Amino acid sequence: MADQRRPRRGPAAVSRAWTAIELLLGVALLGAAALAGLLLARRPGPNRVDAAGYFYVPSDPSSHLANELVKIGSLPVLLAGIGVIFVVAVFRDWVRAFACAAAPIVAVEVVEHIAKPMVGREIGAGSFTYPSGTVAAVAALAAAVFLVSPLLLRPLSALAGVLVVAAVGGAVLVLRWHYPTDVLGGVWVGSGAVFFVDAVAHLPWLVFTRQPLFDPRFGPQAAGPRVHV
């Protein structure tokens, strides 16, 4: 009985319901980013959403706070964050550890080398802007932290992630690096990539092993084997 009450670990402990939610969420977010990219490729100029965002977020390219906040989306911070996430997750679920380490890098690479050139949106005569790579990196890290957090801490990590992503998104607007729709695209790509990659990485365990449909910790048989999402 004592062995049955030990929490299950590893990829086999993830529930089918959570994996399905992750997969649908990832597809929806990436699909929204792709659809917006198609529309912006045809009409790359600022739209009503961009005009409203710029109205409420004044320009200040010399803002010290904004220049510090955008560093959260820099490559050194991204790599450091991935390292911490991997170490935290690898002993609980090695599949999730690798997925959450790889997905942020994949998201940023796709943004910089595929999405931006395909959409071709610019601010002035500068570099391509849709979607925001800075925001995509931060959103990907936030989603990965959410996934590797213990279940009870996920609401707190979700709130912290939203606040950090919002702060960095506001900073790139203050600096006028991006339009507001570029920020939204970055959020969709970054978080969507993490959810999608993690879900797909867990699919083999869903198919070839017996998985719980829901987390039994919240059901009437809470004394049975435990799983995590």
* Per-10-residue mean pLDDT, the chain, length 229: 50 81 96 96 92 94 96 96 95 93 96 94 86 97 96 94 97 96 97 97 78 48 50
pLDDT value at residue 229: 62
Residue with tokens 């999730």: 96
What are the residue ranges spanned by the domains of the chain? 29-215
What the block records as the tokens of 75 is 């490559």
pLDDT value at residue 211: 52
Beta bridge partners of 226: 7
CA distances from 115 to 12, 158, 198 (A): 34, 27, 21
CA dist 21 and 28 (Å) reads 10
CATH class as words, domain 29-215:
mainly alpha
CA 185 from chain center: how many Å?
11
pLDDT value at residue 210: 59
CA dist 121 and 42 (Å) reads 10
CA distances from 156 to 49, 83, 129, 153, 159 (A): 29, 21, 31, 5, 5
pLDDT value at residue 14: 79
pLDDT value at residue 6: 47
Residue with tokens 């792709």: 34
What the block records as the tokens of 203 is 């699919």
Angle at 194 between CA 73 and CA 113, to 5 degrees: 60
The amino acid present at 182, given as its one-letter code, is D
